[in-house]
Amino acid sequence: MEEPWDFEFLSRIVDGFVSFLSEFVDDWLANDMRVSIFKILFSWLVVSLIAIHFAWRVYGNTVNDMYYRQGTSGQNGGTPDTVPHRSGW
C-alpha cells in the first residue's frame, strides 16, 4: 500500500526538478544582466576547479612529500602520539 505514496512522492520530486530546469534554461537563454554575471562567475568557478585539479596532478606528490613525516621528528624524537602531555591541567 506504500507504493502509490512512494510513486507520488517521486513524481513530485521529478516534476519539481523538471520545472526548475525549464525555468533555469529560460533564464539562461535570456540576455539579462544577472544571467551574464552568473555565467561569468560560474565560468570562473569551473576554470578554477580545473586549474586546481591539474595543479594537484602535477604538484600533488611534491606537496604530499613535503608535509609527510618520515621517521622521528621534534626535539624529543617522538611522534605526536608519544609526546608527553602537561599534567595538572
Q: Where do the domains of the chain lie?
A: 8-69
Confidence at 65, pLDDT banded by 50, 70, 90: confident
Confidence (pTM): 0.49
From the list 17, 16, 38, the residue with the least C-alpha distance to 28 is 38
Q: Which has the higher per-residue pLDDT, 42 or 65? A: 42
Q: Mean pLDDT across the chain, nearest whole number?
A: 79
Q: Which helix (H) or strand (E) holds 66?
A: helix 33-67
Q: What is the mean pLDDT of residues 29-52?
A: 91
Query: Whole-angstrom Cα distance, residue 23 to residue 7?
Result: 24
